[in-house]
Structure 1
Amino acid sequence: MDIRLTTEARRRLVAVVMAASVAFTVASCGGEEGNEKVNDSPKASSGQSKEPTGETSEKPDSEEILAQVKGADGIVVTINSADRDSGGFITVNGQVENTGDKIFVAGEWRGQETELLKNGASTAGAVLVDKQGKKKYFVLRDTDGGCLCTTGLTVKAGQKVPIFAQFPAPPEDVTEVDFQLPTMPPATIAISG
């Protein structure tokens, strides 16, 4: 039987999966899947970047801010939490603010893998990099290849939109990772939990 889900149905399914047990997600992703060795190349290690595409800064505010990255056209990504769950995954939560004057569609943030293209404008291309273990962790997916992340991501000028992405968790002794979205500089964030 072929069951196809609408975008809204997929969002609801993702919410149910997140609220329920992670067992299904972990089982479908397997042990080492989603992990990729990374090179020892020197990159922005403190989350600070002077590249023309954006700059990174950490700033205190009334709500907790782990990191904030600024990209082209007035796009600002704020990371508010990176929570480790006992089920073996990390959920990164934050928001995208469009301080520019034109609509932002996160098409480039979905990643380049063929399977990710069907997620549309999303945070499916986000990665966590464990510099200590030299591994890269990709966004978790359901059995149909749908990301466990924000989809339908369009931000009007002057608007803030919440975002999230779930990843396999690095080992317990890893307390800090780099979070990166395509086209944006990396941001070093602390893992809680």
Structure 2
Amino acid sequence: MDIARVSKLRRAAAAAFLAAGLTLSVAACGGDSGGGEEKSLSTASSKPDADSGKGEGETVPDTSEILVTVKGDKGLDMIIHGAKRDSGGFLTVTGEFKNSASSRVTTPLEWSGNEEAVAGTGPSLAGMTLVDSRDKKRYYVLRDTDNRPLTTTSYDSGIDAGKSLSFFAQFPAPAQGTSEVNLQFPGFTTATIEIS
């Protein structure tokens, strides 16, 4: 087993350990009061299953369903496969960025968002937001207790022609009455997705 693979496996194990620890801390802390303002939650539920042969930056979403495909800059397509609520009050969006161009595309720095607090995590999808038009609320990618975004991180700086980068991003779940949200991400038009 080479050093790179061992390093990737260690990162995957550390991420799973962190997710389990944060889930326990949420159970101990109780629920939300349901009050007015949005809060940046410091917790996580389990990350979608990752192929241990891939880096921390890659996840393997269920690709059997496509909610929406959005054309982006430089030949990148954003394909959303799921937007699922879980019992912990989270909404997890899964999908992939597919390079339909004839050459490698560099992933934009804007994807990581402009918050200095998350800059230390390296490449991430912290710039992704959800908008609930019904209740007039915007939701940002959740952060853990160390201010790391609960989304795909540490991915490669580019996507080769014909290749894809799988991703997940976790948000606070909108109110139960909200059945669809608008996903906004730098370099792509707004995508309306249904929540399951």
TM-score class, shorter: 0.7 to 0.9
Q: Which residue of 2 aligns with 1:166?
A: 170
The equivalent residue for 1:94 is 95
- Calculate the TM-score normalised by the size of structure 2: 0.71
Q: Quick one: which of 140, 157, 161 aligns to 1:157?
A: 161
Task: Letter of the 2:116 partner, please give it.
Answer: T
Equivalent pairs counted in the alignment come to: 161
8 Å CA contact retained: 2:77, 2:98: yes
Q: Equivalent residue for 1:41?
A: none
Q: Which has the higher strand share?
A: 1
Question: Which residues of structure 1 form unaligned runs of 5+?
Answer: 1-5, 36-61
Distance change (3 Å), C-alpha of 1:23 and 1:114:
same
Alignment of 1:1-193 (within 5 A): 12-18=13-19, 22=23, 24=25, 32-34=38-40, 63-100=64-101, 101-154=103-156, 155-192=159-196
Letter in 2 for 1:184: F
Alpha-carbon offset, residue 183 of structure 1: 2.2
Distance 1:158 1:119 in 2: 27
Tell me the secondary structure at the aligned position of residue 121 of structure 2.
coil
SS of equivalent residue, structure 1 residue 69? strand
Instruction: Give the distance between the partners of 2:155 and 2:165, measured in 1 at CA.
Output: 8
Return closer, same or farther for 1:171/1:9 CA change in 2, 3 Å cut-off.
Answer: farther
Q: How much has 1:84 moved relative to structure 2?
A: 0.1
Greater fraction of residues in helix: 2
Q: Which amino acid letter does the alignment assign opposite residue 76 of structure 2?
A: I
Name the CA distance, whole Å, in 1 between partners of 2:9 and 2:39: 27
Whole-angstrom distance in 1 between the partners of 2:91 and 2:109: 23
Distance 2:160 2:31 in 1: 34
Q: CA deviation at 1:13?
A: 3.7
* Counterpart residue type for residue 167 of structure 1: F
Deviation track 1:133-169 (CA, whole Å, cap 9, x = no partner) reads: 1000000111111111001233222211210000001
Decide which moves more: 111-120 or 90-99.
Answer: 111-120
- 2: CA distance, partners of 1:30 / 1:184: 32
Distance 2:9 2:148 in 1: 12
Going from structure 1 to structure 2, the CA distance change for 1:146 and 1:9 (only over 3 Å counts) comes to: farther
Q: Normalising by structure 1, report the TM-score.
A: 0.72
